[in-house]
Amino acid sequence: MDVLAEITIILADILDIEGREITPETYLIRELGAESIDLLELSVAINARFQIEVNDDELFLRTLRLHLRTAEQEGKDAVGYLAEKYPALTVARVAEILADMGGGPVLRVKDVVSYIDWYCQR
């Protein structure tokens, strides 16, 4: 089973949203209403399922605004700086995130999948 399918099953169980369509583009917080405690449970489930020690801050992009402020203060290019801080994300995805920040929490299912793929390939 691929990572996306696994994550979909885990999310459906944690968020009690069986039957609802989850795609790579689905927002975890904006659309699925995931709360901090749900994300903790997701991280624990990923931990167990994929046998990896995830960093919750990186996985859920919690430090995004902090990094952005640092890039601004240090006069660095935001896209390049964030891509460095989140090696699991492509430069294109980082640019997409930056353009999307006004709409609320940017975390999508595909970001979680990318993190796991990246971690497993390290």
Partner 1 sequence: MILSFHGKKALVLGGSCDLALTLAAAMMEAGIYPLLTFRNEEGREKINARLLPLGGSYGVCYLDFGDRDSLTSLLAQGYGEIDFVVDFAQGDFEGYVAAADEARVYQYFNANVSFRAELLKKIARIMVKRKKGRFVFISSVAAGRTNPGQGFYAAAKLASEALYRNLGLELGRKGITTVTLRPGYIRAGRGKAYLEAHGEEALRLVPTGRFLSESEVAETILFLLSESAAGFNATELTMDGGLTACK
Query: Please, are residues 110 and 90 in contact by the beta-carbon 8 Å criterion?
Result: no
Return the bridge partners of 27, or none. 108
Amino acid at 77: D
Q: Is 91 in the site for partner 1 (CB under 8 A)?
A: no
**What's the helix, strand, coil split of the chain in %, to 5?**
60, 0, 35
Q: Is 40 in the site for partner 1 (CB under 8 A)?
A: yes
44 vs 78, beta carbon nearer partner 1: 44
Least distance (Å) from partner 1 to the CB of residue 43?
8
Among 4, 12, 29, 41, which residue interacts with partner 1 (rule: CB under 8 A)?
A: 41
Positions in the binding site for partner 1 (CB under 8 A)? 36-37, 40-41, 43-45, 47-48
